[in-house]
Structure 1
Amino acid sequence: MPAWPVYTGTDEPHDGVAQLPDPPPWRAFDGGPVLPVPAEDDHDSPERRYRAATYRATRESVELVNAALVLRRPLLITGPPGSGKSSLPYAVARELQLGPVLRWNVTSRSTLQEGLYQYDPMLRLLAANRMARQNGLTQAAELPKADGSPAEDLRLGPLGTALLPYERPRVLLIDEMDKSDLDLPNDLLNVLEEGQYEIPELVRAAPHTPTVRLMVSGSRNHVEVSGGRVRCRAFPFIVLTSNGEREFPPAFLRRCVRLHLRMPEQAHLEEIVEAHLGELDTDARQMITSFLQRSSSGELATDQLLNAIYLTRIPGLEAPSRRELAETLMAHLGPVTEFDDY
């Protein structure tokens, strides 16, 4: 397979990421020891696997995904709700066989530390109970007091896990960045630029505990971290999504490849509906046309159309009820910009 495109936007998994060109000299990372990318998790959400299989990429999205992969830069995706922003990373992970997608759902209270690592008191309890069983004790309270190592309470977050020295890029979705605290984009700058971070608690403990095992995000697997420092090897494919509710700092924007998703045109929308619901009938085509007409006078999301078409196929619904339901489900999400005749 040629070096470009690595991601093709097709529905066929392949090993094209092995042909990914070398990074620019200023984006080369040398973390280690090298870790294999975990296999796809059979217990992952069926909804996530479905998203990946039914996503239909545009030419522009294929081009910019490849640009982000080759340049080792995050991909910032903006666009209206329902335009497929959060589905794209699942499609890329599926096609390029990059393992389970890591996900960080951002809120106004999210911090950089939360994305990198988290304190989880349950980890200490689980470890104590496991040791108790190994020692034939009935409960953890019978054990000698733990040594208080900070590693006993730490778990790597989604961003912290993505930056481990994997041999191939992990896929990380940082969803709804525009809902974050104003400082978070700036706080991310150094980590995304350097491809590394420190865990101060482990750096301080390094003289007497140089290597610790930490649980990673999204699974019960553990990795070894030495000296409290993590540095990536293959820079992760990071997708940040935004509904456009706020502006980001120029310093943050220039470190991202930017993709704006628009409302699909007729042919693309038909492909999307067909991927989800099978062959289109006359009613479905008419509903797609109506959806596009209505979207010109107010904001609509593609999943509203999918819900409406799905209901029209339920046995027993009479035509008038189908039309009424479709109109209700395809209500505008915001102010109507011009007169719209239902």
Structure 2
Amino acid sequence: MDGSWRLFRGDGERRGLPLPPPPPWRRFGGTGQSGGDGRSGAAERSPYLIERRHADIVNAALHLRRPLLVTGHPGTGKSSLARAVAYELDLGDVLRWPVNSRSTVQDALYRYDAIGRLREATLSRDRNVPEPPIGDFVRLGPLGTALTAPGRPRVLLVDELDKGDVDLPNDLLTVFEEGEFEVPELARLPEDQHAVEVLTARADERTTVLRGQVRCREFPIVVITSNGERDFPPAFLRRCVRLELPDPDEERLRAIVSAHLGAGSLLAVDDLLQAFLHRRAPGELATDQLLNAVFLRAGGVDLDAEGLLDAVLHRLGGAI
């Protein structure tokens, strides 16, 4: 292991060493936004491999315009599937709604900043200038933005729905079935204000809401992920197409490593692959951990150094 590997040495000496290039799957666009064509750079940089039988299930959801409920252990590629679909179908950046225990459907649809509007109205009166339009204080969430696609549908990733409140799946049913919702703050406006431009979940983008009603022209491509921490109600499951992604076998792991790091990376990967398979129990190691180990090995790092391989291929569950 040469000296260029040890960027940080823990000796308090300032060196200002340049960082080496990151792995392909950890390269970003810098601004966090897509390019002028609206495509997601992350999806383009990260090849996504899926078996044909699983791809057929994805296609069934696309044809039926039904949400795709994707389950599987961490690291099996559930969230990446949404980005792969968006890239292959050229549908722009994925709109992501990361669900937690405090998430509500209201958050995903829109937010109205009543306090901000009151503050700006007071300042405008003091300055004797017109008040900002109400649309400046209404921002659609990821689900609300997905429903406003003017032409081709957008891809919405509802990430880890099983972490949300037990009633959240049922709260989504009406929106998924009807493809519309109301913004009461806009529906109450006078008739001469029936068309209001509001902010969306995408930076510097606005859309027009008519009479407070948001209605989709094209139902979004909805990918819902779950780690299987909780069961969903039958009424919700009936409206989804279900896909369970298995842990990749040895052949699939080799294909994934080759796709991400090139065929040459397979020349010295056998011991790492066997170590990964030996350590892997269901849900306790993720594929990207193997990629991390192979990337370091390809860069000349001695993974046999004390504790290094254990740090990279650490268990995801249980005590650390």
Q: 1:1-342 counterparts in 2 under 5 A?
A: 41-42=34-35, 49-50=42-43, 53-120=46-113, 142-144=127-129, 146=131, 150-279=134-263, 280-296=265-281, 299-315=284-300, 317-318=301-302, 320-321=304-305, 324-335=307-318
Letter in 2 for 1:106: V
TM-score by length of 2: 0.80
The answer to whether the 8 Å contact 2:101/2:165 transfers is yes
Taking a change above 3 Å as real, the CA distance of residues 124 and 238 of structure 1, as seen in their structure-2 partners, is: same
1: CA distance, partners of 2:218 / 2:283? 42
2: CA distance, partners of 1:191 / 1:320? 53
1:188 Cα offset (Å) = 0.3
The answer to whether the 8 Å contact 2:78/2:225 transfers is yes
Which stretches of structure 1, 4 residues or more, deviate above 6 A after TM superposition?
43-47
2: CA distance, partners of 1:231 / 1:298? 40
Letter in 1 for 2:269: A
Cα deviation 1:14-67 (Å, max 9, x = unaligned) = xxxxxxxxxxxxxxxxxxxxxxxxxx9218999962576321122233111111
1:232 Cα offset (Å) = 1.0
Percent identity over the alignment is 49
The answer to whether the 8 Å contact 1:185/1:248 transfers is yes
The answer to whether the 8 Å contact 1:72/1:237 transfers is yes
Taking a change above 3 Å as real, the CA distance of residues 216 and 299 of structure 1, as seen in their structure-2 partners, is: same
How many residue pairs match? The answer is 285
1:158 Cα offset (Å) = 0.5
Structure 2: runs of 5 or more not aligned? 1-32
2: CA distance, partners of 1:43 / 1:274? 30
The answer to whether the 8 Å contact 1:123/1:152 transfers is no
Taking a change above 3 Å as real, the CA distance of residues 141 and 292 of structure 1, as seen in their structure-2 partners, is: farther
Structure 1: runs of 5 or more not aligned? 1-39, 133-138, 337-342
The answer to whether the 8 Å contact 2:153/2:219 transfers is yes
The answer to whether the 8 Å contact 2:146/2:154 transfers is yes
The answer to whether the 8 Å contact 2:147/2:220 transfers is yes
The secondary structure found in structure 2 opposite 1:104 is strand
Residues 150-159 or 220-229, more deviating:
150-159
Residues 208-217 or 116-125, more deviating:
116-125
The equivalent residue for 1:4 is: none
1: CA distance, partners of 2:171 / 2:78? 23
Letter in 2 for 1:310: F
1:256 Cα offset (Å) = 0.5
Cα deviation 1:257-277 (Å, max 9, x = unaligned) = 011111101121111111222
1:190 Cα offset (Å) = 0.4
The answer to whether the 8 Å contact 1:83/1:301 transfers is yes
The secondary structure found in structure 2 opposite 1:54 is coil
2: CA distance, partners of 1:298 / 1:235? 33
The secondary structure found in structure 2 opposite 1:167 is coil
1:293 Cα offset (Å) = 2.7
The secondary structure found in structure 1 opposite 2:223 is strand
